[in-house]
Amino acid sequence: MSGEAHLAIEVTGLHKRYGEVEAVTGVDLSVAIGEVVAFLGPNGAGKTTTVEILEGLRTRTSGDVQVLGVDPAEATANWRERIGVVLQGAKHEGDFTAAEIVTMWSAYYRSPRPTPEVLELVGLAEAAGTRTRRLSGGQQQRLAVALALVGDPELVFLDEPTTGFDPAARREAWQTIDGLRSLGVTVLLTTHYMDEADQLADRIAVISRGRIVADGTALELAAQVAMPSQISWDAAELSPGVLPDRLRDLLRGQDASMRSRTAVGTAAVERQTERQVERPALATRDVDEVVRELLGAAEAAGTRLDSLAVQPPTLEDTYLALTGDSSSGDGS
């Protein structure tokens, strides 16, 4: 396989067997140059095995793999300079400053980026003289990304980059990862945070039982499994009793927990001193038609339906439907 010029990663028919166990059973995956792709999968799905094969850290049983136009199994030091790897929970030993660590790592490369430029890219310019033990969790991860970027790579592998972070540190790391787009760097991201994948990735590939079961944007994945959206409104504005027969039948046929929910925190509820508001909810794949019917019912009743809300399926909903996984942990 020669590898298309516009692809950073091209995988066809990838298999990996450990004795009698086949961990990867025919993965096909492509990643375009400059694209950020999230690679998701439950425990034991073959995710880590696949990524390690792409990084040249593990050999495959069969299949064709091209990473930056090179077979990782035959990679040279020159190829390794073209990729960057950020491992989960990277720690920086010793009592060095951020600038000293980046400078030391730059010695491994023939044409490294200047240390000040790298620190600026990851938002650590003001912390250049700070000892690593004094860096926050978010800054530690920024430093890990800096070390991956110092060799000016074309492709970066990010393995669970924000595991164990508090919300503020996660947001900092997201800003750094998102900034890689401006450099034209291709990113393959593994994560068990669905909101992280949704926020950062151009595309999402889901692996389950050793095979890619879905590949596309969050909306495309939701469409693939025909996940319903949820439409809700304030019953004080439109009583379920005045709905058309079809919608009343839908409400009666759905689980009680979906028919009545509490909405707290919206501007309307805050004006009502956060009193509980009954919100009938309809799960449907035909959003446009149901919304039209609800608005028509409100007009016929002489009321406005200002509280109407449509909640599309979340990426987590879609992921669980695709994999049947009840957890979101890292897999092998």
Q: Within this chain, do residues 238 and 296 fall inside the same structural domain, yes or no?
A: yes
Q: Looking at the structure, tell me whether residues 65 and 47 fall in a common domain.
A: yes
Coil, helix or strand for 45?
coil
In degrees, rounded to 5, the angle at the alpha carbon of residue 48 between the alpha carbons of residues 211 and 159 is 125
- Does residue 286 sit in the same domain as residue 169? no
Q: 167 with 249, same domain?
A: no
Say if residue 170 is in the same domain as residue 271: no
Q: What is the total count of domains within the chain? A: 2
pLDDT digits (tens, 9 = 90+) for 99-142: 999 999 999 999 999 999 999 988 899 999 999 889 887 788 88
- Which of 1-15, 57-71, 110-124, 207-221 has the highest mean predicted lDDT (pLDDT)? 57-71
Which of 224, 246, 275 terminates a domain? The answer is 224
* pTM exceeds cut of 0.85: no
> How would you classify the pairing of strands 261-262 and 278-279?
antiparallel
Model pLDDT for residues 139-177, shown as the tens digit of each residue: 888 898 899 999 999 999 998 888 777 788 788 888 888
What is the pLDDT, as a whole number, of residue 330? 40
Could you say which of 196, 224, 252 is where a domain stops? 224
Residue 200 has pLDDT above 70, yes or no: yes
Same domain, 209 and 245: no
Other Cβ atoms less than 10 A from the Cβ of 115: the count is 20
For residues 307 and 159, membership in a common domain is answered with: no
Residue range of the domain that includes 242:
229-312
Do residues 114 and 141 lie in contact, with contact meaning Cβ atoms separated by under 8 Å?
A: no
Q: Which of 171, 194, 224 lies at the terminal end of a domain, its last residue?
A: 224
Q: Mark whether 63 and 199 lie in a shared domain.
A: yes
Q: Give domain status of residue 64, yes or no.
A: yes
